[in-house]
Amino acid sequence: MSSRTSPKVAVLLGGPSAEREVSLSSGRECAAALRGEGFEVVELDAGPDLAARLVEVAPDVVFNALHGRWGEDGCVQGMLEWLRIPYTHSGVLASALALDKQRSKEAYTAAGLPVVESLLACAAEVRARHVMEPPYVVKPNNEGSSVGVYIVHDVANGPPKLDEAMPEVVMVEAFAPGRELTTTVMGDRPLTVTDILTDGWYDYDAKYKPGGSRHVVPAELPVEIFDACMDYALRAHEALGCRGISRTDFRWDEPRGLDGLILLETNTQPGMTPTSLSPEQAASVGISFGALCRWLVEDASCNR
């Protein structure tokens, strides 16, 4: 950081991904919190001129509040490394690995973490026939926030009618029944476990619309399952090489006990909106939203 009394923080938000609106909300909340913590804050909507604007603004730190492609997949991280500006959250490799669902699953498997069967397939083939025995889930291989997720429950309903906006290659994975659980890791510390209750699938609306889901935090679980979520989340964070905070999502099929707990994915840029899970988990262990944002800035670096 420079010798300024109040370090200048550039909060990156918006951007061109499918998760632009969520990023705008996250970024504005983080910017407000950082101002409350005494930082000088500049909000930058990430566009094609982002590198030039960063050179002009000359921040001491970049707070990355982008979600989805370009902001969460290693692209903006590589640019920040090139510009030698310290930044928050994960670096180039961890970001790229985590957003690529197939490669992150390979990293989980190598670390001995439980995942469900999955494969990559052409979207045209998925529209034409069942490439896996139902029930299964179809989703983009490199988007987050439940963007473009299809659940296929029954053979009789035929293959899914995927939207034309879906990428040419998609992930198809066996449907994992059960409760939706999640754990945030902050540095080398898993915070707690949240049980996410919804009326249906934990989709985009359930994640980001007020009242879309109900969160029980800390989750009311058998000690074995709670401890396993904490352990698996930290191991996933380390296996991918994450920095700052990450959030790993699970499904738990209760009748199967520990064998029913599987990892879904790890988010290197967890949402920081009023309904987001990671700030809620931090608050539950005594870390305010402002303190969480401050910690992320203080944790920022290059060579992540």
Please report which residue ranges of 44-151 form alpha helices under DSSP H: 50-57, 75-83, 92-99, 101-110, 123-128
Asked whether residue 51 carries a pLDDT value surpassing 80, the answer given is yes
The catalytic residues are 19, 145, 208, 247, 249, 265, 267, 271
Q: Where are the domains of the chain?
A: 8-88, 97-114+177-292, 118-174
Mean pLDDT of the residues in the chain: 91
Angle (CA) 162 118 260, round 5°? 115
| Structure-token pair, residue 254 | 């209760």
Handedness of CA 79, 83, 84, 85 (dihedral sign): negative
Residue 202's beta-bridge partner residues?
A: none
Instruction: Determine the pLDDT at residue 164.
Output: 87
Instruction: Determine the pLDDT at residue 200.
Output: 56
Over residues 118-166, the pLDDT tens digits come to 999 999 999 999 999 999 999 988 865 456 789 998 877 889 999 888 8
User: pLDDT higher for 68 or 29?
Assistant: 29
Instruction: Determine the pLDDT at residue 209.
Output: 53
Mean pLDDT along residues 258-263: 97
| Structure-token pair, residue 168 | 């040419």
Q: Which CATH superfamily is domain 97-114+177-292 in?
A: ATP-grasp fold, B domain (3.30.470.20)
Over residues 71-88, the pLDDT tens digits come to 999 999 999 999 999 999
Picking from 138, 143, 200, the residue whose alpha carbon sits closest to that of residue 174 is 138
Q: Are 18 and 27 in contact (CB under 8 A)?
A: no
**3-class state of residue 190 by DSSP:** strand
Domains 8-88 and 97-114+177-292 share a fold: no
Q: If you search the block for the tokens 């590198």, which residue do you land on? A: 51
Helix (H) and strand (E) counts for the chain? 10, 12
CATH topology of domain 8-88: Rossmann fold (3.40.50)
